[in-house]
């Protein structure tokens, strides 16, 4: 049931982001679940790692991009079509049972690769009196 609710919430997030005037282009992601972690792949073509902020709190992984390409074109030619990521964009993904202290990320060839390990299951022995 958690997966269905999570998918519904992510779909609602996509719809909201698309409707938001401040967000021109939502960050497109793939989330892959394997044996020990989630792998999140985010498309960020032409974005420098200095313009990306990644945070995680209470199972909410947030990717924020503040790319200043718009400012570089001020006073010059006008865009006819502007579909590439520019300005401020943000995407939040909700993941269950994760180890927030061991997340790793790498930006290569326009793809942000994030590895989010699962929380280790704690096994406790119960003393019988």
Q: Domain map of the chain by residue range?
A: 2-117
* Whole-structure pTM value: 0.70
CB proximity list for 39: less than 8 A, separation 6 or greater? 31, 32, 113, 114, 115, 116
The tens digit of pLDDT for each residue in 61-93 reads 999 998 776 555 566 777 777 776 677 889 999
Query: What SS3 string covers 17-60?
Result: HHHCCCCCCCCCEEEEECCCEEEEEEECCCCCHHHEEEEEECCE
* N residues, the chain: 129
Instruction: Output the CA torsion 42→44→47→52 (10° steps).
Output: -30
pLDDT tens per residue, the chain (129 residues)?
666 776 766 666 655 544 454 445 678 999 999 999 999 999 998 889 999 999 999 999 999 998 776 555 566 777 777 776 677 889 999 999 999 999 999 999 999 999 999 998 877 788 888
Q: Which fold has domain 2-117?
A: Immunoglobulin-like (2.60.40)
């Amino acid at each position: 049931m958690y997966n269905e609710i999570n998918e519904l919430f992510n779909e609602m997030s996509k719809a909201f982001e698309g409707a938001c005037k401040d967000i021109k282009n939502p960050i497109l992601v793939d989330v892959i679940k394997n044996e020990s972690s989630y792998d999140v792949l985010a498309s960020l073509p032409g974005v420098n790692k200095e313009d990306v902020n990644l945070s995680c709190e209470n199972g909410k992984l947030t990717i924020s991009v503040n790319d200043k390409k718009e400012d570089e074109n001020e006073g010059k030619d006008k865009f006819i079509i502007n579909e590439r990521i520019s300005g401020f964009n943000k995407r939040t993904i909700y993941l269950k049972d994760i180890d927030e202290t061991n997340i790793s990320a790498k930006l290569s060839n326009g793809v942000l690769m994030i590895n989010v390990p699962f929380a280790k299951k704690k096994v406790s022995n119960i003393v019988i009196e």
